[in-house]
Structure formats: C-alpha cells, structure tokens
Amino acid sequence: MNRLPPIRRWGVAALTGVTLFGGLSIVGAGVASAATTPTVSAALTTNATAQTIAGSKTAAQNGASLTLTVTGAISAGDKIVLTLACPTAGTASFANATISSTHFGTAAVTANQSGSTCSTLTFTEATTGTNDSIVFTPSFVTSDVPSQALAITGLYEVFGGATSFTVPTVANVAWFSVSSNSPAVTLPQSGTTSISNITVTDPGNLPSGSIATGDSITFTLPQGDTWSGTPTVTASPTGTVAPTATFSGNVLTVVAGTAATAGVGNSLTLSNLSVATTSGSSGSALGEQDVAINNVTQSLVIAPAVSVGTILGSVTRIAGADGTADGTVAAEFEAAYPYNSVGTGGNRNVVLATDAPHTNGSDALAASYLEGKLGTGLLITSPTILGADAQNAIRFEGVNTVYVVGGPLAVSPAVLAQIRTLPVYNPGGLTTTGKLVTVVGPIYGADGTPEGTAAKIATYFNSYGSVNVSGAYSSKGGLYNDTTGNASASAANGSLSTAIVVASSDWQDAMSIAPEAFNQKFPVVLAGPSTSTTLGADAKAALTSLAVKQVIVIGGQFALQNSVETQIAALNGGISVLRIAGIDATDTAAQIANFALAASTAGLALSGSHTVMASHVDYWADALGSAALGGGANGSFGFEPLILVENPTTVGSYTTAALPVLRAAPGSVIGLTVLGGPLAMPTSTVNALLAGL
C-alpha cells in the first residue's frame, strides 16, 4: 500500500519588532506551538532612517535598508510577504529589492494594483535550516502620491498558517507645494485678468537630483484659457532656477538653470501673470493650474492643483420640468438638499404650504425661519389634494416628517390625511422603510389670517438668532435705506436677539429676506393686515412673546409707515429698529444683499465664495424655495443673496447698479443661480446679469 507523504508542520511566529507607522492589519494566524516556529522581527539597519522619495517617478527609488531576523526552525518553501499599503491618493508599488540572506533566495515581486493592497514583495525560503538574517533595500515606483509615509505590513507564512509582524517605515514621500500669495481672483467669462503671484516650494528634504539642470516646470490651464502678461521668476536660493519663463497658449514653462540644492528648501515665485478667458469657458470652469515637473527620468504632477482664479459664468437654472410653481419649488428643495446627501432610513423633514395664489405665498414666506430651525426646505401643494410634485419630492428625498403651515383653507384635512398614508422611502425613492410619513401641525393662526399664521410660526420654537449689526444704523434710518422711512439712529450694545417685520401685502420683500432669515434663524412677522400704518395685533403679540431686542423692518413707507416703526420701538422695554428699504422691490432686494455680505458690524458678514440667485417681481412662486437654497442649506451652494429683475426681459436700473457692488463685496462671486424657466427669465436677461457681475 502506498503511504501518504509526510504532513508539513503548522506554524505561528511570535510578533516582535517596532511599531508600524499608521497601524497594523492582522492578516492571518496559524495555530501551532510557538516553540517550534520562527520568531520574526524587523528593524531599520544601524543608524538608518526612512528615505525621502519623490511623489511621482517612473524610475525605482530606494527606501531605507531593512533587516529581518528570523529565529527558529525554517523549512524550504516558507515565505515572508511584505505588503505595501495603498497611499491616500495615487499609486505606489514595490519595484524590487537588493538582498543578502543566509537561506532565502532572490526576492520575487508580485504586483497587485487593484483591491485593498497595492503591491507585495515575497521572499521564498530556498533551504531548510535554523535562523536567518535578511538585509535588503526595497525600491518603489510612485505615481501622484502626496506627502506621507509608505506603510508596510509583514506576514510570515508556513503551510497551514501565517502570522503578522511589524515593519518600520522605510520611505517617506516628499511633495512639492504650490500656493498663491493671495486669494484666487474671480475671472470673467471673457477678458484678461491679472492674477496673484504663484510660488512653488520643495519640502527641503528631497533627494539630490529631484530637480536637475534642464528640468522644466509647467503650469497648464484647462478649458482653453490662456496665459498672458510678462512673467518673471524669482528663485530662492538665488540661481536655483533661471529667472525666465515663457508661455504658449495655456502652458507656462519655467526651465531650471541649475540643479536644486538638496535639503535646503528651494522655491520660486512667478509674478506679472495674467489669464485670458474666453466665452467658451462657461459652466463650472475653474481657472486651475495643473503643475508638472519633468526631466528625462521623472514626470511629477503636483496635486492638488492650485487655483489662480475662478471663472465667472457658472449659470444654474432651477425650474420645474412641468412648468408649474409646485414643480419649481420642489426642484429648489431638491437642489438645496440632494437626496444622495442623506443616509438610509428616511431622516429628512420638509415644510409644506399652500400654492393658492390669493395668499401670495404669505404662509410659505413666513416659514423661512421654520425651515432654518429645522434645517430643511419647502414644498407647496394645492389646498385640496397633495400635488404630484410635492408627493414625488417627499418620496425621492426620503422625507419622514412633514411640517404643515396654514389653516384648513390653505391645506385641507384631506391633504393631511393623504400625507399620513404615504410610505417613508429611503432617499432615492426605490425602497421603503416600513414606516408612514408623520404630519406635524398644521401651524396656523386661530383667526385664519396670514398674519396670525406668521405669528404662530415665529413663536413655534420660541428661540431665534442674535446678531450685532450696530454699524448698519445711521441717523437716516440705516445704511441700507434709500427711502424716507425712519428707524433707530443707533442700536443697543452687543449681539441682539432679532426678528424681521414685513408688510403682509409685500410678498417681494419677504421673499428677498428669506435666505437671510433661514441662515440667521430670524423669525419673520407680518404686519397688517389692512393698512401700512398699524403693526397689527398678531405681530405685536409675536414680538412681545419673543422678547426680541432688535427688529429689521423691510420696505419703505409705502410698505410700513413710520408709525409702525414707532410702535415696534416701544415694545419690550425698547427695541432697536433697523430699516432696509429701496425705492422699489428690486432696490430693496439689492439693499438686503448688500447688508448680508457687508463685513463686521455693518452687516451679516455672510462672505466667502458664493453665487447670486436671481428671480423677478412679477410672480411670487419662483423664489418661494430660495430660503434654503440661498440660506446655506447643507453647504452645497453656500450663502446666495437674492436679487430681483423688474420683469422677465428687463434687469432694471437698481439691480444693474447693485451688481458691481456685489462683485466687490468680501469673498468672490462664482456664478449665477436663476430661479424659474426661460419664460420667467430668458437667456438675454441672464446674459445681462452676467455682464453686470
């Protein structure tokens, strides 16, 4: 009878050595007695330190020498496997390794650029014996890897098992940095703009030869934009790079005159540069540089690219596909809160109001504060049946709770009952969670008026934002007041709890202040209803209940006369009143935008890169969803002030005059968001707004 071949031993090696940079993944383990298996330790050779290598180089680059010590019985076929962890970006792999060993044969390289590992280096035992010492120097090929340590894990494999051991860091990737000496400028769609200086710096620990004589550094602009100007180069240390630079089209090239000094920290600064943009650079184009350093043996692409400017001309139009008001408001909600930004489970709220035109959107506009407190947007519906646009948005957004504003004539009990039968979907609307949508409210005034509903919304949470805008006050009623309407000449000291008062008949004013109310969580109170001379019982009760110390009145005396300002100022032991008002609705919207972007105490200081929203004063529905969309929402858009045009085909003198002021405000204007379809704002009007910006 034939006898079975002998079964090889199962082994597990003891874990010793130094701590691995970045952590250690235990890949596997054997189960046999440690007394019969090797012990493996890894250490850098005497006095060695991790080597610095370039972040992108086609030629092999050596790391530090490493000694592996194997103590115990060794069998032919045993393996040591070193696995290189994937870098945070780009790719890295073992190139090979020089080796000296008592028992182990030549290293074999097994590359795997997919999956969870980037490359493995395998040493296979050639003979059987006891103890071994392997000294080797691993080498690497890198591609677009940012500065970081290259982490390696070790594994000793025997038949039937494996054990891991720690490996010290043998190589650190060094990276050139590229920076702009001042914030990126805003570039027009068409024209030539001077840009800020650009500096390229090496980290000061690059190996000799990283930049050699004849190397070229190129700066490439995408999307057809071109360099212009008379570029000059200043190098440090002096003489590292020849002070010349040339450009051709979108490529700017600097050629090294002398080799960079290793270990010094070489830098060069380019100045006197301009970028010429064309009308073809529209869309979401960025005036970005892709920077490369090239010579015979390496091509190093510096990442991330540095932005020298942002091309204005990014136009986003948000409108309902069906051409309805309900569809446009739903599209604005979905743009402010993309459904894929929420995890599974249906954990989003929404505010629902009526689309009935006789209300001029009063309920929805007063709800901008509620939206801000809830961190959500708005939908509108027919009073008698839940509209398809609202229903679809509830499904695809994964809404689980609907806050209803308005009484039974605005949103009927039948609509509430219909909502309660809707299943909650996971965001995307493909699968349900097994729950039904919850209705909160309706929130409305007992007297059934828009003013009463606004008061109920304003006091729903009984908390609000505070702000110090004392620098916006003046003897003429405020810095943002073009009318004869009065206001307080100065404000009380410090940050004051704040509410907004708007005339119930002027939906345009409430619409224009909605993004700020959302962002700052200011309650919106409607004065009226019948005249512009009286604050109204609902508004007075709301301001008293809130105990606010500052009120921002929106609109001039045609909206709210000075008698209303006097009544407000007398409440709560004295309220500071700031009036923001223009000659017409477009001027008021421009003044609100200026107030929002003004720095320090002169305004809300909602600066930074932003787009500008645009709607028109003819129809109230297109901008109903502007509160969340412009107020910051989930950060997709940032803060966006709202401006108004006189009609679909006419920008108007006040808005035209305001556009360069908005452009010069702190931060940078990076685009335009148009609310409504081409009939609401045709391309000619959009182009006129872009020209003004």
- Position 55, amino acid: G
| Closest to 545 (Cα-Cα) out of 465, 460, 488 | 460
Q: Check whether 437 has a pLDDT greater than 50.
A: yes
Cα–Cα distances (Å) from 669 to 314, 597, 638, 662, 687, in that order, read 10, 11, 11, 8, 15
Give ∠ CA 21-25-28 in degrees, rounded to 5. Answer: 145
pLDDT (average), residues 173-189: 60
Sorted by sequence, the CB contacts under 8 Å of residue 432 that are 6+ apart come out as 423, 424, 425, 426
Span 352-378, pLDDT tens digits? 998 886 556 788 888 999 999 998 899
Q: Quote the CA–CA distance of 517 and 540 in Å, as a whole number.
A: 19
**Residue 299 confidence (pLDDT):** 45
Task: Write down the residue that tokens 């108004």 correspond to.
Answer: 644
Please indicate, yes or no, whether the overall pTM of this predicted structure exceeds 0.85: no
Query: How many CB atoms are closer than 10 A to CB 660?
Result: 11
Pairing of strands 348-354, 251-255: unpaired
Task: Write down the residue that tokens 């907004």 correspond to.
Answer: 500
- Greatest mean pLDDT among 188-202, 401-415, 437-451, 462-476 lies in 401-415
Contact at 8 Å (CB) between 473 and 443? no
Q: Check whether 168 has a pLDDT greater than 90.
A: yes
Q: Quote the CA–CA distance of 522 and 524 in Å, as a whole number.
A: 6
Asked if the peptide bond before residue 304 counts as cis, ω within 30 degrees of 0, the response is: yes
**Residue 305 confidence (pLDDT):** 44
- Position 401, amino acid: T
- Greatest mean pLDDT among 72-76, 133-137, 366-370 lies in 366-370
Q: Check whether 524 has a pLDDT greater than 90.
A: yes
- Position 256, amino acid: A
Query: How many CB atoms are closer than 10 A to CB 455?
Result: 29
What's the token pair of residue 592? Answer: 């609100």
Q: Quote the CA–CA distance of 42 and 391 in Å, as a whole number.
A: 63
Q: Quote the CA–CA distance of 570 and 599 in Å, as a whole number.
A: 29
Confidence of residue 96 (pLDDT cuts 50, 70, 90): confident
Span 414-432, pLDDT tens digits? 999 999 999 988 888 888 8
**Residue 203 confidence (pLDDT):** 59
**Residue 571 confidence (pLDDT):** 92
DSSP secondary structure letters along 589-639: HHHHHHHHH--GGGS----SSEEEEEEESS-SSTTTTHHHHHH-TTSSS-B
Q: Quote the CA–CA distance of 151 and 331 in Å, as a whole number.
A: 46
Q: Quote the CA–CA distance of 640 and 670 in Å, as a whole number.
A: 10
- Greatest mean pLDDT among 100-104, 144-148, 199-203, 590-594 lies in 590-594
**Residue 640 confidence (pLDDT):** 83
**Residue 186 confidence (pLDDT):** 58
Q: Residue 374 region, left (φ>0) first, then alpha (ψ -120 to 50), else beta?
A: alpha
- Greatest mean pLDDT among 14-18, 72-76, 308-312 lies in 72-76
Q: Quote the CA–CA distance of 387 and 379 in Å, as a whole number.
A: 10
Mutual orientation of helices 388-396 and 325-336 as an angle, nearest 10°? 10
Contact at 8 Å (CB) between 581 and 483? yes
Span 459-476, pLDDT tens digits? 998 778 899 999 999 988
Of all residues in the chain, what percent carry a pLDDT higher than 90?
18
Q: What is the DSSP letter of 458?
A: H
Question: Which range is least confidently modeled, 111-125, 196-210, 605-619?
Answer: 196-210
Provide, for the chain, the percentages of residues in helix, strand and coil under a 3-state DSSP scheme, each rounded to the nearest 5: 20, 35, 45
Pairing of strands 108-111, 171-174: unpaired
- Greatest mean pLDDT among 112-116, 292-296, 571-575 lies in 571-575
pLDDT (average), residues 102-117: 56
Of all residues in the chain, what percent carry a pLDDT higher than 70?
74
Confidence of residue 351 (pLDDT cuts 50, 70, 90): very high
- Greatest mean pLDDT among 315-329, 335-349, 569-583, 613-627 lies in 569-583
DSSP secondary structure letters along 241-284: S-S-EEEETTEEEEE-SSPPPTTT--EEEEEEEEEEE-TT--SS
pLDDT (average), residues 660-689: 78
- Position 292, amino acid: A
- Beta-bridged to residue 226, according to DSSP, are 276
**Residue 646 confidence (pLDDT):** 87
Query: How many CB atoms are closer than 10 A to CB 49?
Result: 11
Q: Mean pLDDT across the chain, nearest whole number?
A: 77
What's the token pair of residue 95? Answer: 């190139």
Using DSSP, state whether 558 is helix, strand or coil: coil
Q: Quote the CA–CA distance of 35 and 592 in Å, as a whole number.
A: 79
Span 52-67, pLDDT tens digits? 887 766 677 888 998 9
- Position 437, amino acid: V
pLDDT (average), residues 313-320: 76
Confidence of residue 547 (pLDDT cuts 50, 70, 90): very high
**Residue 212 confidence (pLDDT):** 62
Burial of 407 (0-12, 13-18, 19+ CB in 10 A): buried
Span 227-270, pLDDT tens digits? 888 888 877 776 555 557 788 887 888 776 666 665 566 677 88
Q: Check whether 136 has a pLDDT greater than 60.
A: yes
Q: Check whether 21 has a pLDDT greater than 60.
A: no
- Beta-bridged to residue 228, according to DSSP, are 274
- Greatest mean pLDDT among 7-16, 99-108, 555-564 lies in 555-564
Contact at 8 Å (CB) between 667 and 634? no
| Closest to 527 (Cα-Cα) out of 609, 455, 624 | 455
**Residue 436 confidence (pLDDT):** 93
In the chain, the domains with their CATH numbers are 14-174 (2.60.40), 177-310 (2.60.40.740), 342-443 (3.40.50), 448-501+514-575 (no CATH)
**Residue 292 confidence (pLDDT):** 52
pLDDT (average), residues 28-55: 68
Question: Which range is least confidently modeled, 390-399, 412-421, 527-536?
Answer: 527-536
